Amino acid sequence: MACVIILLNLKKLLKILILTLILGSCKKELKKKTELAKSDFNLKEDITDFKKKMTDLDTIKIWINRSMCMYQATERIEITKKTEIIKIKTEFKEDTFNENPEWDLIYEKKIPASDTIWDIEEFFKRNIERQKPKEKEYGTLQISHNGIKLHYFTYDLADLTRFIYDFSETMKKLHPENTNSIYGVEIEVTNEEE
């Protein structure tokens, strides 16, 4: 009788040992898969070459304050990559005259990662010195990726105007349908000499 009890306990112990080994093995396999699914994208180092360096796991978010004088507006852009296609989603919110403005989808574009027409990486290179803050906590343009943020600062109205114009001209290469610097606002150009 004692032998039967010992055998039953050994069977239970063997089952527990096998289950423990199986669960441990599954946990190690899951950990390996998680490690393989990490991106090496470094926002500060790779932003000027993100089309090549970002992976399917990366999402870059850009926020730009387009406010000037009495005009209040914000644009946000989300950039993702799937295989060799870059997807750009742009939204805009104008809150000069709206108490509770909504984000309006302006466009979603897909371009190849090898694209050379939309030269936003060159825009970031041209403005690299703007990453150094002077008396401000938040930049006119902010870029974020996995909790890391880059800020691009402007310092006065003339500088802000040049920066917004440069950004708008860069974005126009992606979305030429936007003929003006401000989405949704038709700016009538008049010739005062006439």
* pLDDT tens-place values along the chain, 194 residues long: 666 566 566 677 777 777 777 776 666 665 555 555 688 899 999 999 999 999 999 999 999 998 888 888 899 999 999 989 999 999 988 888 877 888 988 889 999 999 989 999 999 999 999 987 766 778 899 999 999 999 999 988 899 989 998 998 898 888 887 655 555 444 444 555 44
**Per-domain boundaries in the chain:** 1-37, 43-174
What are the φ/ψ torsions at residue 88 (nearest 5 degrees)? Answer: -120, 120
pLDDT, tens digit (0-9, with 9 covering 90-100), for 153-179: 998 889 998 999 899 889 888 888 765
CA 163 to chain centre: 20
Write the DSSP assignment of 55-68 as a string of letters: -TT-EEEEEEE--B
142 burial (CB, 10 Å; 0-12 / 13-18 / 19+) is middle
CA 32 to chain centre: 27
> Which two three-digit tokens encode residue 133?
């803050």
Residue 93's nearest CA partner among 67, 113, 128, 119 is: 67
Q: Which helix (H) or strand (E) holds 77?
A: strand 73-82
Whole-prediction pTM value?
Answer: 0.72
pLDDT, tens digit (0-9, with 9 covering 90-100), for 30-46: 555 555 568 889 999 99
- What do you get for the CA distance between the two ends of the chain, in Å? 115
What are the φ/ψ torsions at residue 185 (nearest 5 degrees)? Answer: -120, 115
Beta bridge partners of 149: 144
> Which two three-digit tokens encode residue 104?
């309006």
Which pLDDT score, from 0 to 100, does residue 182 have? 56
Residue 187 in 3-state DSSP? coil
If one counts every other C-beta atom within 10 angstroms of the C-beta of residue 68, the result is 14
3-state secondary structure 11-29: HHHHHHHHHHHHHHHHHHH
